[in-house]
Structure formats: structure tokens, C-alpha cells
Structure 1
Amino acid sequence: MNLESTTVTVEKSAEEVFNFLSDIKNFEKLMPENISKFEVLNDEKFLFALKGMPEIVLKKKELISPNKVVLGAAGGKLDFSLTGNITELEAGKSEVQLLFDGEFNSMMAMMIKGPISKFIETLACNIPSSI
């Protein structure tokens, strides 16, 4: 299952956006209002839970400065990645799009597609005001 957020414009350089997204504690600022738990486990991993959903642990998988930040599931029953693609438009201005990629059976995909689409959309839309 592949999902994409809208592309958001940020009044920061690609390097600044990359540095922000590379620091996992900043993801707390991007979380939706219905977050019930957020905990930084170490420099590489954080745990979060949304109301009515199980806890999810994400860890840094790949960093390609200044254009890509990839987080992935750290254990658990679901295997997926969340990629932030960053494109510099001009000095001090960039675009960011979040991509969700996961392997799920069709029943699971049907159940989580809506909530995950809304989740990555919220994360993306919160980036410009959080940096």
C-alpha cells in the first residue's frame, strides 16, 4: 500500500527541513491532536499512539542530506516506512511530501488506509508551522 500526502511549501531551506525531520523529537510537534502518547526512546527511535490505535515505534532507517528522511517500523506486527522527500525550490524555500509504504493484506489495508492517509496528511500540513 502506497499513500502520498499533499506537497507542502516551507519557507526554509532543504537543509533546515532535513535537519528538523532528522531529529525525531521534532515529530511530536507534527502529531495530530488525537495523539495519546509520544515518547522518545533514543536518538534513533520514538513511540507514539493515537487514540483508539495501537502504539507504533518508528526508527530512522535512512538519511540522505538534504533531500530524504526515511523512518520505518521498529518491530511490531506492521512493516512499513514513512519517507519525507524534500526539494529545494529556491534559497530559503522548499517543498516536502510524505510517502507511506507498507505491505498489508487486503483486509488490513482497507481498515487502515483512511486513518493512515489522514495521519500523514496532518504530519505534512504541520511541517511549515512547526519549523
Structure 2
Amino acid sequence: MTIIQNNVVINRAVADVYSFLADLNNHEQLMPENIYNWTSTADEARFTIKNMAKLALRISLRTENKEIICVPSEEAPFEIKLAWRLEEQGAETRATFVIEAQLNMMMKMMASGPLQKLVDHQVQRLKETLG
């Protein structure tokens, strides 16, 4: 299992960050430019990653003010789980974005870099969006 993650501290209450992340409609604001054909509801999102794949994700678990887990709702190129984990730190919130992917050696070489860039981009955009 390949685990890719990054975190950021946001100057907002954990409930605010959780409520933003718990609705997949908001996740489009966190996506990089190479994501297009975005459609979403509060529980599901579909999009295309330029030159890579189409993905359909659904929220499989919401633990209030703690964690949101997304998994593919349709067949994906590899087994993957995306999780936002939140920790209250006084008036601030530490948000950690974790991607767990089952990658063979060839896929790991090809996908690790883009997945790390995605994680880094999303945590940075979350901080910019929520201040």
C-alpha cells in the first residue's frame, strides 16, 4: 500500500473545516487545473484527470469533526482511498489529506508524483479557501 499525505493548519474552527469538506460540491474548489468535467452532489463527485483517467468518488464515511473518507463509486484504475483527517488545535484545525493506493511497482513509479502533487495542491487550496 502506497500512502501519500500532507497537512496544513487552518485558522478556523474544526466544525467549519469539517462542514466544508463533508460536502463534495466544495471539493471542486480544491482541484488543480488538470481536473475537468467536474460534476458533484454532496455525496459523490465525477471528474476527469487530464491525460490520465476518469474517476467517480463517493463519501463512504463521515465522522463529525474528525474524518471524511472517499472511495471509488465505479471501477478505478487501482484501489484507492482518500481521507481528510481533522484535529482541533485550540481555535485552529490541522487538516491532513491522505491517499492510500494499491499500486504495483510500475504504477507507483508513474502515479506517485502526480498523487503527491494532488495532495500538496489540495491542502494548500484548502488553506487559501478557508483562510
- TM-score, L = length of structure 2: 0.91
Residue in 1 aligned with 2:86?
A: 86
| RMSD, matched Cα | 1.2
Q: How big is each residue's C-alpha offset from its partner over 1:37-94, in whole Å with a ceiling of 9 and x where there is no partner?
A: 2111x43210112221211111101111101111112222322111111111112x11
Partner residue, 2:5: 4
Q: Which range moves more in the overlay, 80-89 or 49-58?
A: 49-58
Residue 123 of structure 2 corresponds to which residue in structure 1?
Answer: 124
Q: Once the two structures are superposed, what CA deviation does each residue of 1:79-124 show, in whole Å capped at 9, x if it has no partner?
A: 2111111111112x11111011011211112111111110111111
Identity %: 22
Tell me how far apart the structure 2 counterparts of residues 111 and 33 of structure 1 sit (CA, whole Å): 19
Cα shift at 1:11: 1.4
The runs of 5 or more residues in structure 1 that have no matched partner are none
* TM-score of the aligned structures, taking structure 1 as reference length: 0.91
Gaps of 5+ in 2: none
C-alpha distance in 1 between matches for 2:73 and 2:109: 22
2:53 alignment partner, SS class: coil
Letter in 1 for 2:5: E
Which SS does the other structure have where 1:28 is aligned? helix
Question: Which segments of structure 1 move beyond 6 Å, counting only runs of 4 or more?
Answer: none
